[in-house]
């Protein structure tokens, strides 16, 4: 008995220490970032036929950390160790094929998960099995797309780790971003789960209340991400709240319970092994979301129906600023990426930005080396449903994301994620990372190649 108590105490102490360490690190990083006057930064993400270098991996970790801190309002800097783009030759002779292998392994894991826990199979379970089954719910509002999407993807990742089914939360019967995005039929809605719960008599026959356990990641003193064994939680539904970036799901890699750590590292790879970095979020998006018909029609219009998919995406978040240095840096990175393509035909480059004048300014320069694709929504005559077209542009959004109507950002997202080889992203002072991260992740999953991130100081 005493032994039991002291073990619990030790576990608690260890847990507190980890909490402390994690949040000290983050606080320190935040202070460092705040104190720096951030120069414009360009990030390149290339998918280069399954090669990767170690420094690039480290920087990917940095990016994840930075992403953790980058709310839309926080000025951030790209990390202290800026470095030029790696050349193909420099990239990962050692780990060649490794990322590809890891991503394929995770793709298989995710597929297996959804074939077992996907709605079509779970719906058909006999009552006593159904009523014992667990769910994870992902809820998103319609705020910044990147952050909100991460909430859903974190729930999806958690559902894999916990061997539970995934519910996509709706608001008044509507999916988040439901005008632009379709969700896989492997997911449940809460309405359906409630219905099945009643139909199977889970409460009446088995005494199981359909309750939800909420864990708030935004409250460091309350979250159980590090100390709880979520796989043992009895509540039918779990909601891991406030998870707006790539980090929340990966906190489980540091959980005190080996059970949780193993489940997390099966998905994300062992944290101490930099060689193992599967494209988890890209693979989850690939299976869970697709563009609505209207959005897809617009994407195909830009690519030219039957046209070749773009090779490279350039994403620049300029906040209405005209920065010659940022344009110069973007061109440099782009040219490097093009050199690495080593293909015969003229490369196709998608350009997306919140700042129309930036696109206009840089297009002639890119045209010297590549064909420029851009979604010019004003001349798009395709069918965009009136629902979408008539949504008002909100003032705060214009300031943050430019004057284009909201639906254009979704066309840009799915257009940009068609890039086969690289995603180059840059920003003026504040980096809109999550949107660009998700584009890069989805692009990499679709072309099942590796990702390399590099910083270019300008």
Ligand X SMILES: *[C@@H]1O[C@H](CO)[C@@H](O)[C@H](O)[C@H]1NC(C)=O
**Site residues, ligand X (CB under 6 A):** 116, 120, 163, 185, 319-321, 324, 327-328, 331, 364-365, 429
**Minimum distance from residue 219 beta carbon to ligand X (Å):** 29
**Minimum distance from residue 355 beta carbon to ligand X (Å):** 9
The CA distance from 121 to 427, in Å, is 44
If the CB atoms of residues 231 and 308 are measured against ligand X, the closer one turns out to be: 231
Answer left, alpha or beta for residue 262, where phi above 0 means left and psi between -120 and 50 means alpha. Answer: alpha
**Minimum distance from residue 335 beta carbon to ligand X (Å):** 10
**Minimum distance from residue 163 beta carbon to ligand X (Å):** 4
Residue 64: C-alpha distances to residues 142, 251, 436 (Å): 23, 12, 12
Contacts of 224 (CB under 8 A, 6+ apart): 215, 230
Place of tokens 């719960």: 197
The CA distance from 30 to 4, in Å, is 39
The CA distance from 372 to 351, in Å, is 7
If the CB atoms of residues 79 and 402 are measured against ligand X, the closer one turns out to be: 402
The CA distance from 53 to 144, in Å, is 32
The CA distance from 128 to 189, in Å, is 21
Structure token digits, residue 38: 């951030």
**Minimum distance from residue 121 beta carbon to ligand X (Å):** 9
**Minimum distance from residue 361 beta carbon to ligand X (Å):** 8
If the CB atoms of residues 133 and 406 are measured against ligand X, the closer one turns out to be: 133
If the CB atoms of residues 189 and 321 are measured against ligand X, the closer one turns out to be: 321
Which DSSP category does 375 fall into? -
| 3-class SS of residue 401 | helix
**Minimum distance from residue 50 beta carbon to ligand X (Å):** 27
Contacts of 125 (CB under 8 A, 6+ apart): 133
């Amino acid at each position: 008995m005493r032994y039991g108590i002291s073990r619990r105490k030790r576990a608690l102490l260890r847990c507190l220490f980890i909490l402390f360490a994690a949040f000290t690190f983050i606080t320190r990083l935040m202070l460092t970032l705040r104190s720096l006057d951030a120069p414009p930064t360009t990030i390149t993400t290339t998918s280069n036929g399954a090669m990767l270098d170690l420094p690039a991996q480290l920087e990917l970790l940095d990016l994840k950390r930075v992403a953790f801190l980058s709310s839309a309002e926080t000025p951030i800097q790209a990390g202290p160790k800026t470095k030029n783009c790696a050349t193909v030759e420099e990239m990962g002779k050692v780990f060649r094929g490794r990322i590809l292998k890891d991503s394929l392994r995770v793709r298989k894991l995710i597929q297996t998960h959804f074939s077992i826990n996907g709605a079509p199979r779970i719906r058909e379970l006999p009552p006593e099995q159904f009523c014992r089954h667990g769910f994870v719910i992902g809820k998103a509002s319609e705020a910044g797309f990147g952050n909100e999407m991460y909430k859903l993807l974190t729930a999806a990742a958690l559902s894999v780790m916990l061997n539970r089914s995934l519910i996509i939360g709706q608001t008044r019967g509507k999916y988040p971003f439901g005008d632009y995005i379709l969700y896989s039929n492997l997911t449940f809605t809460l309405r359906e789960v409630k219905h099945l719960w009643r139909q199977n008599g889970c409460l009446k026959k088995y005494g199981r209340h359909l309750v939800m356990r909420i864990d708030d990641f935004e409250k460091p003193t309350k979250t159980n991400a590090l100390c709880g064994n979520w796989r043992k939680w009895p509540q039918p539904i779990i909601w891991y709240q406030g998870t707006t970036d790539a980090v929340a799901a990966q906190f489980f890699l540091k959980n005190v319970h080996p059970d949780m750590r193993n489940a997390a590292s099966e998905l994300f790879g062992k944290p101490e092994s930099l060689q193992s970095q599967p494209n988890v979020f890209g693979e989850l998006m690939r299976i869970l979301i697709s563009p609505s018909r209207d959005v897809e029609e617009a994407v195909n219009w830009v690519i030219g129906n039957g046209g070749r998919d773009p090779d490279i995406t350039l994403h620049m978040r300029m906040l209405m600023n005209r920065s010659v240095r940022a344009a110069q840096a973007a061109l440099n990175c782009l040219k490097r990426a093009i050199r690495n393509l080593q293909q015969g035909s003229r490369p196709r480059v998608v350009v997306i930005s919140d700042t129309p004048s930036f696109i206009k300014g840089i297009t002639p320069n890119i045209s010297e080396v590549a064909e420029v694709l851009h979604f010019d929504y004003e001349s798009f005559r395709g069918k965009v449903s009136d629902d979408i077209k008539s949504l008002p542009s909100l003032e705060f959004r214009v300031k943050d994301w430019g004057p284009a109507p909201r639906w254009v950002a979704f066309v840009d997202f799915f257009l940009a994620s068609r890039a086969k080889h690289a995603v180059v992203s840059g920003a003026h002072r504040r980096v809109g990372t999550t949107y660009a991260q998700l584009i890069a992740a989805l692009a990499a999953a679709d072309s099942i190649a590796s990702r390399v991130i590099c910083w270019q100081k300008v």
